[in-house]
Amino acid sequence: MRNIENSNEVVLEKHDDVVKDQQKDRPLRTVRSFVKREGRLTKGQERILAESPYLLSHTIVDEVWDLDQIFGRQNRARTLEIGFGDGASLSKMAENEPARDFLGIEVHRPGVGRLLLDVEEKGLTNIRVIDYDAVHILKHAIPDGALDCVQIFFPDPWHKKKHHKRRIIQPEFVALIAKKLCSGGRLCLATDWEPYAEHMMEVMLAAPDYENSVEGFIENPTHRMPTKFEARGRRLGHGVWDLVFLKR
């Protein structure tokens, strides 16, 4: 996710939404974990974003989704990836597991376009994508207990202390994800920033809805595909920390 969102080719937009505290009837600022950057679309990306049947419409973001209808089949094996970057890893997972459905959320439209072009080229039918805020989709669109895996790989670590509140892995967020996971469902995380890995572990160990699948971090993970971003980091000598927690 971070390799795309941290590109320098685009303009920042406002960081915060304004929502209403229903009990006190006053504005309440909600911190976003991302800064949306548009970037340039190729002609191919423009075409696929306009034509792909696998790109979900913003007109349905306030509805509770019937995932069987959206994917065109009944299935309990469903993975949500939040912030899939250029989509190469997600596409490969979908190619390797045709019996599993994959839902991807990414706010960077060139990355969405790249994924959809890859989906078209490979003839994949088990991916659906939306370019929207993941928190909104989780709150309003994903049914409770509908997923058996949620994965968030290499989210922006927001290095500066004053920005730590923008880190996506926070107690409230993982509690929201837990509602969407079935019993025994997995939350899979990865980062190449050790302080963020420690933060992730602290949040997850304190979360009452989860238990760690191993003692500590996952060594030599096999549950995800290596990413270009990860490979570049390893060449630079960066470590990678993986976590897999199970919903109780």
222 labelled binding-site residue: no
Chain centroid to CA 159: 19
Is 13 within any annotated ligand binding site?
Answer: no
H-run or E-run covering 211: strand 210-212
Cα→Cα distances 37→5, 10, 58, 134, Å = 7, 5, 18, 15
Q: What angle do CA 201, 164, 214 make, to 5 degrees?
A: 10
97 assigned binding-site residue: no
230 is in an annotated binding site: yes
Place of tokens 């290095």: 159
Q: Coil, strand or helix: which one is 195?
A: helix
User: Is 228 annotated as belonging to a binding site?
Assistant: yes
- 133 is annotated as contributing to ligand binding: yes
The token pair that represents 98 in the structure block: 């045709």
List the catalytic residue out of 86, 156, 209, 242: 156
Is 156 labeled as catalytic in the residue annotation? yes
21 belongs to an annotated ligand binding site: no
| 227 annotated as ligand-binding | yes
Tell the residue number behind the tokens 């963020």, with chain if given. Answer: 196
The annotated binding site for S-adenosyl-L-methionine is made up of 81, 106, 133, 156
Q: Which residues are annotated as a binding site for substrate?
A: 160, 192, 227-230
Annotated binding site: 81, 106, 133, 156, 160, 192, 227-230
Q: Catalytic residues, which ones?
A: 156
